Amino acid sequence: MRRAPWILVALIAAIVLPPLIGRSALLSDTNALLLCRGCVMALAGLSLNLLMGYAGQVSLGQFAFVGVGAFTLAHVTGVTDLRLPWVVGMLASAALGAVVAFLVGLPALRLRGLYLAIVTIGVVYACSESLFIAQGIGGGSAGKVVPPPYVAADAISRNCDLLAVGLVLLVVMWHLDTNLTRSRLGRAFHAVKADERVAASFGIDVASYKLLAFVLSGAVAGLAGGFFGTTIGTVQAASFTYADSLGLVVIVVVGGLGSRPGVVGVAFGTTVLPSLLVTLFGSGIRGYDLIFNAAVLVYTITRNPTGIAGAIREARTKALERRGGEPPLPPTRPNLPSLGRPSALPAPRRAAAGQPVLAVRDIGVRFGGLRAVDGASITVDRGTIVGLMGPNGAGKTTLFNAITGALRPDSGTVTFLGEDVSHLPTHLRAARGMGRTFQLIGLAKDQSVYENLLIAQHLAAPYSVGSALSGLGASRALEREIRSRADQTIEGLGFERFASTPVGKLSHGQQRIVEIGCCLVTSPELVMLDEPSAGMSPAASEDLALTLQDVRDKLGRTVLLIEHNVPLVLGVADELYVMAAGEVIANGEPLDVVTRPEVVTAYLGSSYEEALK
């Protein structure tokens, strides 16, 4: 709501200023057309930024979706086709762009990086070299005519008036993009980009959000294509080539992946640059802008991969640090807030009397010929801390991954709160109340502490895509609730001065505390911690032991803990399991278990008596 006046001002300016300036001869028809092209590139850049900058999905054929939008508008509004209103044509352009992007995005569920990029390259070549030149679709070599939009009975044909239309589209897309980044959608995209396993542990359906990123990106690209066809009047296959797609990649990378202002600014800059060079140096300079773009891209990748926007942010951060000095360190033993289960989450299942929170039976995991876990079984009772120890390579983390659904075991069952969850994916187990941390810290390192706590509450804000983009409806109340919980958690962690600090800039121990906070913020029934004391000093490990006891005694959570720090485990665990070579070799009361001969042999490679010699 605080942004609403600025959006209204921007819309009014976009509608009024271009025609006004054009009629006063301050803006020539040629320059207005050039700026219309800038609007097209800015819209297309925002579409690619959504896909690559937010969700981390590579596309080197984005201009294919722009072309789909342009030809769709031509068919829907053309005098030899459906002859529907321009607004209907633009909506159809967005819809068909989304459909085609969905189909292209399906391989993203299995392909990543270079292989996905190759698929998108194939799409743009198939469109520009075949689909868009087909007589029935692209009108052959002559292309398709796009009639101008109408207001009442008058056609909008002057370039200054069309520029007003383009700026309105850009302002609306800017607003929707801003809402997206501040909603559960944008946070889910960032989590998927950072680490898909971590995203799933927060309850994010990774496959669905990958496809959603392609769909939304395709819709925006389709709108860009529709406006492109409107400005030039005739669309041809030659306007949507692989080179144009690479130009979009340059815009997004140089502007800064994930930066809306950077992408829009560079989009207009690269559009105006060729005309400016010709004006300054004559027509002989034509084409050298491509060399300039390539040089800027190489420089950006090698010297500042975060782009122009990242360089500005970094300079601003350094200036603030010099002005304010180093902030004080947060306490190593946080006062964790006692948060109830979020209102949007259903009440957790309750295991029957005497039934454990977690029962793992005969789990087997094989990697080729290696049996990483061999018939492992463990039981975790409510309100206890259960330790899981073993030498490196014993299969502890693999067992964790099988319990949480990060990998599918070859045999065995996982029962959680009395329900067999063996068939459920990770995000649905998280929704049941299973939270975890990772051996390598599971956070979005480029996001702030506050944003990570919001990402971790993905399940606590189940509002729709429409509500997220508009900022209306259920999103308001749910966002207020999860932001309040994030504030309480930050205060309990003692990280108030670090709330806006990217997690990657914190020390290892501080990152561990934030990760535990993210795990606890939705009050899961079971907290699974994978080597939480790794990299901590002895004093910090002692504080961690007290924190784990607080999790059990004050918050009432059940904890399953992988840990190599024997004193820490002996100090907090109610029961201890020991694994070796994929098998559970001992379990029981911790002090008794660690002195058993089989446990000593597993750790030392010899009997207890031989080790003392």
Is there a contact between 580 and 602 (Cβ–Cβ < 8 Å)? yes
pLDDT number for residue 562: 94
Neighbouring CB atoms inside 10 A of 297's CB total 16
At 601 the pLDDT is: 87
Structure tokens, 491:
């205060």
Q: What would the pLDDT profile of 550-590 be if each residue is shown by its tens digit?
A: 889 988 899 999 998 899 999 999 999 999 999 999 999 99
Q: Is pTM, for the whole model, over 0.85?
A: yes
Dihedral pair phi/psi, residue 70, rounded to 5°: -65, -50
Residue 550 tokens read as 């607080």
pLDDT of residue 331: 57
Asked if 445 and 194 touch (Cβ cutoff 8 Å), the reply is: yes
Helix (H, G, I), strand (E, B) or coil at 353: coil
Give residue 324's pLDDT.
59
Listed as ranges, residues in the chain with pLDDT below 50 are 1, 608, 611-613
Neighbours of 368 (CB within 10 A): 6
- Cβ atoms of residues 42 and 247 within 8 Å: no
SS3 assignment for 138-156: HCHHHCEECCCCEECCEEC
Topology of domain 356-433+525-613, per CATH? Answer: Rossmann fold (3.40.50)
pLDDT score, position 1: 44
Domain span(s) for CATH 3.40.50.300 in the chain: 356-433+525-613
Element (H, E) at 367: strand 358-367
Cβ(573)–Cβ(560) below 8 Å? no
The reported pLDDT for the residue numbered 79 is 78
State residue 612's pLDDT score.
46
CA gap 460, 341 in Å, rounded: 9
Backbone angles phi, psi at 46, to 5 degrees: -65, -35
Residue 587's beta-bridge partner residues?
577
Q: Which residues lie closer than 8 Å to 125 by C-beta, 6 or more apart?
A: 61, 242
**Are 113 and 58 contacting, i.e. CB atoms less than 8 angstroms apart?**
yes
Note the pLDDT of residue 468: 94
Q: Which single residue is written with the structure tokens 């002090």?
A: 591
State residue 210's pLDDT score. Answer: 95
Distance CA 560, CA 400 (A): 9
